[in-house]
Amino acid sequence: MSVTFADIEAAAARLKGHAVETPLIESPALNERLGRRVLLKPETLQRVGAFKFRGAYNRLVQLTADERARGVVAFSSGNHAQGVALAAKLLGMPAVIVMPRDAPAIKVEATKGYGAEVLLYDRLTESREAIAARISEERGAIVVPAFDDPHIVAGQGTLGLELVRQAQAAGAKLGAVLAPVSGGGLVSGVALAVKALSPDTAVVGVEPEAFDDARKSLQKGEIVVQKATGRSMCDALESPFVGEITFPIMRRTLADIALVSDAEVAEAMRYAFRMLKLVVEPGGSVGLAALLAGKVAAGGDAPVAVVLSGGNVDPDLYARVLRGEI
Amino acid sequence: MSVTFADIEAAAARLKGHAVETPLIESPALNERLGRRVLLKPETLQRVGAFKFRGAYNRLVQLTADERARGVVAFSSGNHAQGVALAAKLLGMPAVIVMPRDAPAIKVEATKGYGAEVLLYDRLTESREAIAARISEERGAIVVPAFDDPHIVAGQGTLGLELVRQAQAAGAKLGAVLAPVSGGGLVSGVALAVKALSPDTAVVGVEPEAFDDARKSLQKGEIVVQKATGRSMCDALESPFVGEITFPIMRRTLADIALVSDAEVAEAMRYAFRMLKLVVEPGGSVGLAALLAGKVAAGGDAPVAVVLSGGNVDPDLYARVLRGEI
């Protein structure tokens, strides 16, 4: 059940013409501020506004005709939801998505907009796993995990493949690559690709201070489950544990995990608005936040690439961040 | 004093390594909505957050050593101001910028941030031309016009050069290109490049309903000066007349001029936020606004390219637009 670089290359071939090859962009002002080249991979420009389409499509396109007829079910706070919903629509199969009642409205509406059936649940009193299992049993629908699945990891890895090749084309020898961590699907896929193509590049995961289970897990050498004590403004990064498939890859490939506070995330979102003109959601901003807060030593002053993993943020929250209320 | 395609190619060579080659991006969701391929040229990602850096740098880099020592003076509501200020900083010359007191704060601050001396004037009671002329006389500073200058037009034209080549690389045979119109520097430069490389592509200018002097001028065959009756939310597009240099180019090259309302501009800004994850200022959104409002027939269902010319919008105004108050 592990994932290889060949799996990522195969996923890239499947995604060609379906996913957006997002550009790698550079801001002279940001370079000057950081004293090193910073290459941004705005997956905000991906279909559904987040990298999640890559893994979802790579998973769903490999289902058999019989499986497609039965449809899929997934649970997600929003970006995986949209990725699965759109991939299912494109591939002509029904999708049921189980989402928390407090998920960002923009994510719930978009998921419905792609034609999926959305079931809302209460984050505190109900089990999303149980709801998904019931749907799966009743309808025979295939459960599509958000991160702990080799096809999902390989799909997200296509982002890393593009990133390294685009950086090479831009003449940048990457010292480090930063990617957000929740369940580890993105960071493990990206790290596999980066380590295959550019072994000397350090891959650093970034997670919210309030959800630092990945860092604790790497320190302890086993998966540590986060106690549900607090919330982060990064709704996309609230997985309380990393996966059985993603964790071994992370152990093998990650140089470090940096932590960022909500205040640092909000500051990064404002910087992206003001200086980069990019709309980035809280969870998508953690890499930029870590850089701006001076929390990334990896790679020294060599070029660093940052994955801006998604841009699905409610207008109300965004307006509050812009006004400095967060 | 006319401008040729060779001037644009020469400008592109001067800008290489100094201006950002902004990507040409595509949103499957937007394509689906419009029923045609839409290629977006986000000059929001350009230095200073707007295309204006191109023309300003192309003008300033050609000044003699003696002229550089005397410095430059410009008047602008904001984007040309920033373009001149940054180009002057990079080239090591002093810059004085005359800006209206009601210019967006984000533009005034950025201009100061690039080291320029900013003089604020009252739009209703003072003449910015007179203030600039006085500075020029007192200090010997070179006046850098915002649009009516062949080097400025050639610089802005580099955007069109990139756009057509990027569209060709993406396999898109462009039916039309849309660009905002204020004084006509951008649209005339872009049109010269487009017509040289792709003669069958229609170039359409877009301007705010309240500042439709370019359309009236083209209809009448002479430059019509806009009476200062109203305001548009597009602070970047409030020039009351097109230029002596830009107008003949516009007459020769433009297929049409479309008009958009403030409500259509606000809707386009929200669409760019929600679906494209791009921060676009009001004046930068007019092309997208015209498309979304169904006001562009040019090119039929052939691919259309849209210049998103700038992203310098105050957070307060942006928040109001997101909340639907405008």
Separation of alpha carbons B282 and B180, rounded Å: 11
- The verdict on whether A309 is a catalytic residue reads yes
Q: Active-site residue among B52, B76, B198, B239?
A: B52
Are B28 and A47 inside 8 Å of each other by CB? yes
Taking alpha carbons only, the member of B289, B241, B225 closest to residue B262 is B289
Are B23 and A23 inside 8 Å of each other by CB? yes
Q: Is B77 on the interface with A (CB under 8 A)?
A: no
Q: What is the pTM of this model?
A: 0.97
Are B318 and A273 inside 8 Å of each other by CB? yes
Separation of alpha carbons B86 and B108, rounded Å: 13
Residues 6+ apart with CB under 8 A from B218: B250, B251, B254, B257
> Which residues partner with A239 through β-bridges?
none
Residues 6+ apart with CB under 8 A from A42: A22, A23, A25, A278, A280, A308, A311, B277
In the DSSP assignment, the letter for residue B50 is B
Beta strands in chain A (DSSP E): 25-26, 38-42, 72-75, 95-100, 117-121, 142-143, 176-180, 202-208, 254-260, 304-308
Q: How many CB pairs under 8 A join A and B?
A: 72
Are A315 and B274 inside 8 Å of each other by CB? yes
Q: Is B209 on the interface with A (CB under 8 A)?
A: no
Q: Is A276 on the interface with B (CB under 8 A)?
A: yes
In the DSSP assignment, the letter for residue B116 is -
Q: What pLDDT, on a 0 to 100 scale, did the predictor assign at position B275? A: 97
Q: Is B45 on the interface with A (CB under 8 A)?
A: yes
Which helix (DSSP H) or strand (DSSP E) does residue B98 occupy?
A: strand B95-100
Q: Is A322 on the interface with B (CB under 8 A)?
A: yes
Q: Is A277 on the interface with B (CB under 8 A)?
A: yes
| Structure tokens given for A150 | 């080799």
Residues of B in contact with A311 (CB under 8 A): 277
Helix axes B5-15, B185-197, angle to 10 degrees: 110
- In the sheet with B304-308, reading across from the earlier edge strand, the strands are B25-26, B38-42, B304-308, B176-180, B202-208, B254-260
Residues of A in contact with B273 (CB under 8 A): 279, 315, 318
Q: Is A319 on the interface with B (CB under 8 A)?
A: yes
Q: DSSP secondary structure string, B128-178?
A: HHHHHHHHHHHH-PEE--SSSSHHHHHHHHHHHHHHHHHHHHTT---SEEE
Q: What pLDDT, on a 0 to 100 scale, did the predictor assign at position A1? A: 62
Are A279 and B277 inside 8 Å of each other by CB? yes
Cβ within 8 Å of A, B 234-263: none
ipTM of this model?
0.96
Q: Is B284 on the interface with A (CB under 8 A)?
A: no
Residue B1 has pLDDT above 70, yes or no: no
Are B28 and A20 inside 8 Å of each other by CB? yes
Residues of B in contact with A44 (CB under 8 A): 277
Residues of A in contact with B280 (CB under 8 A): 277
Nearest CA in chain B to A86: B29
Are B311 and A42 inside 8 Å of each other by CB? no
Task: Please state, for a pLDDT cut of 70, what percent of chain B lies above it.
Answer: 99
Which of A29, A45, A319 has the CB atom closest to B277's CB atom?
A45
Q: What pLDDT, on a 0 to 100 scale, did the predictor assign at position A231? A: 82
Separation of alpha carbons A245 and A147, rounded Å: 9
**How far does chain A reach from its first CA to its final CA, in angstroms?**
42
CA distance A222 to chain B (A): 37
Which of B270, B277, B315 has the CB atom closest to A49's CB atom?
B277
Residues 6+ apart with CB under 8 A from A323: B315, B316, B319
Are A277 and B49 inside 8 Å of each other by CB? yes
CA distance A20 to chain B (A): 8
How confident is the model over B127-172, as pLDDT tens digits? 998 999 999 999 999 999 999 999 999 999 999 999 999 999 999 9
Q: Active-site residue among A198, A232, A285, A309?
A: A309
For residue A241, how many other CB atoms are within 10 A of its CB?
19
Residues of A in contact with B311 (CB under 8 A): 277
Confidence of residue B2 (pLDDT cuts 50, 70, 90): confident
Are A45 and B27 inside 8 Å of each other by CB? yes
- The verdict on whether A220 is a catalytic residue reads no
Are B273 and A315 inside 8 Å of each other by CB? yes
Residues of B in contact with A274 (CB under 8 A): 106, 315
Contact B66, B78 (CB under 8 A): no
Average model confidence (pLDDT) across chain B: 96
Q: Is A78 on the interface with B (CB under 8 A)?
A: no
3-state secondary structure of A72: strand
Contact A156, A53 (CB under 8 A): no
Provide the residue-wise pLDDT of chain A in tens; the chain has 326 residues: 689 999 999 999 999 999 999 999 999 999 999 999 999 999 999 999 999 999 999 999 999 999 999 999 999 988 999 999 999 999 999 999 999 999 999 999 999 999 999 999 998 899 998 999 999 999 999 999 999 999 999 999 999 999 999 999 999 999 999 999 999 999 999 999 999 999 999 999 999 999 999 999 999 999 999 886 678 899 999 889 999 999 999 999 999 999 999 999 999 999 999 999 999 999 999 999 999 999 999 999 999 999 999 999 999 999 999 999 99
Are B49 and A275 inside 8 Å of each other by CB? yes
Q: Active-site residue among A41, A52, A107, A195?
A: A52
CA distance B322 to chain A (A): 6
Separation of alpha carbons A246 and A184, rounded Å: 6
Are B279 and A278 inside 8 Å of each other by CB? yes
Cβ within 8 Å of A, B 152-171: none
Q: What pLDDT, on a 0 to 100 scale, did the predictor assign at position B77? A: 82
Q: DSSP secondary structure string, A11-40?
A: HHHHHTTTS-----EE-HHHHHHHTS-EEE
CA distance A115 to chain B (A): 14
Separation of alpha carbons B50 and B283, rounded Å: 10
Question: For chain A, what is the largest distance between any 2 Cα atoms, rounded to a whole number of angstroms?
Answer: 57
Q: Active-site residue among B27, B188, B198, B309?
A: B309
Q: Is B42 on the interface with A (CB under 8 A)?
A: yes
How confident is the model over B6-54, as pLDDT tens digits? 999 999 999 999 999 999 999 999 999 999 999 999 999 999 999 999 9
- In the sheet with A95-100, reading across from the earlier edge strand, the strands are A117-121, A95-100, A72-75, A142-143
